[in-house]
């Protein structure tokens, strides 16, 4: 029988908590790092953000989309 080896990953730390960064919808450069190339907001398990900052990040991305700072899809 084969022995299964588990690979443990280092726990991701919320970037906004660690560096004391404020999330602002006007900062399109920061928000682009949390959006996929298809225009979807990346989930917490991939980005490592905490629940509090993920909620504010999602609303900031949605606001930036409506005032056309971020496109709804990036693949065009």
DSSP 10-75: PPP--HHHHHTPPP-TT-HHHHHTTB-TTSPBPPHHHH---HHHHHHHHHHHHHHHHTTSS-S-S-
Q: Give a yes or no: residue 29 inside a domain.
A: yes
Q: What is the CATH number of the domain that holds 28?
A: 4.10.640.10
Please state the rounded mean pLDDT for residues 57-68.
Answer: 96
> 10 in a domain, yes or no?
no
Rounded Cα distance, 47 and 33, in Å: 9
Does residue 41 fall inside a structural domain? yes
Show the tokens assigned to 19.
């560096």
User: Is 35 within a domain?
Assistant: yes
State both tokens at 52.
């509090």
Give this prediction's pTM. Answer: 0.81
Question: Would residue 7 count as lying in a domain?
Answer: no
The residue segments making up the domain with residue 37 are: 15-66
Residue 75 has pLDDT above 70, yes or no: no
**pLDDT at position 19:** 95
Residue 40 belongs to a domain = yes
| Chain segment 6-61, per-residue pLDDT in tens | 777 777 899 999 999 999 999 999 999 999 988 899 999 999 999 999 999 999 99
The tally of domains found in the chain comes to: 1
What are the φ and ψ backbone dihedral angles of 50, each rounded to 5 degrees?
Answer: -80, 170
Q: What is the pLDDT of residue 5?
A: 72
Residue 53 counted as domain residue: yes
């Amino acid at each position: 029988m084969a022995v299964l080896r588990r690979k443990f990953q280092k726990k991701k730390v919320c970037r906004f908590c660690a560096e004391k960064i404020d999330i602002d919808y006007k900062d399109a450069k920061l928000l682009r790092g949390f959006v996929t190339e298809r225009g979807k907001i990346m989930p917490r398990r991939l980005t490592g953000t905490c629940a509090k900052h993920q909620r504010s990040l999602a609303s900031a991305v949605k606001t930036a989309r409506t005032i056309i700072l971020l496109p709804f899809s990036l693949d065009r």
